[in-house]
Amino acid sequence: MTSQEIRKSFLDFFKSKGHTIVPSSSLMPDSPNLLFTNAGMNQFVPIFLGEQKCPYDPARATDTQKCIRAGGKHNDLEDVGMDTYHHTFFEMLGNWSFGDYFKKEAIDWAWELLTEVWKFPVNRMYATVYSPDKSLGDPSEFDQEAWNFWAEKFTSVGLDPSIHIVNGNKKDNFWMMGDTGPCGPCSEVHIDLTPDGDTRGSLVNAGSAQCIEIWNLVFIQFNANADGTFSPLPATHVDTGMGFERVCSIIQNTRNFPVLTG
């Protein structure tokens, strides 16, 4: 598939699941704590906080958002040029639920798109779930619910969930837009790009270009307050972000990525 076909495939898939396709927002966000738009969810913050009524019926959206990460919490400048997968400017494909569906549907559809529509080899796929370190004061609890949903998927294709589901700490699996704002535990999908695809999860979150994150499913449940506390939001939401360039590189088998087989 071409990049245009991949982008269209993503948007059409979520349109078929009842999502409204919305345009990319400005790179200059209407937010005092952001220099540039750094994620697809930026334009939806007022909805997540309950400050604005969701304009979509059902309360679902999908988009491809142009992003710049050149400062602040999500600053990729030090990684650009040092590996094959970080960019200052990039596109983020996403799907959103505003108090509508939650973890089960988000995981179901991520699995369906990757394994059934795009035919990613399941033995190369790994999912991460949030496992807080309470000694460091990490918020919330172990995300058993997400673990159970992923376990069902991997078990259904004969794979061991204890190998293909990897626990992650607050740094890797608790997503925050900035120091304040909507946030929550997340599940990332990583793809093993080694020649044999048999690293058994050892390279997940290890900073290796041979096993990269392609999709982050964020389960927004809290608001991070200025005093460092976390308050439950009045409704739970889904916020996902997929690296468009990364997916294109994998599907098209372009430079520095092996052919996905097996």
pLDDT tens, N- to C-terminus, the chain (262 residues): 999 999 999 999 999 999 999 987 766 676 666 666 677 777 888 888 788 999 999 999 999 988 876 654 445 555 544 455 545 667 999 999 999 999 999 999 999 999 999 999 999 999 999 999 989 888 889 999 999 999 999 999 999 999 999 999 999 999 886 788 888 999 999 999 998 899 999 999 998 888 999 999 999 999 899 998 899 988 899 999 999 988 998 898 866 555 554 4
Could you write out the three-class secondary structure of 172-217? HHEEECCCCEEEEEEEEEEEECCCCCCCCCCCCCCCCCCEEEEEEE
Helix (H) or strand (E) holding 63: strand 60-68
Whether the CB-CB separation of 52 and 93 falls below 8 Å is answered with: no
| pLDDT for residue 85 | 52
Give the pLDDT score at 262. Answer: 42
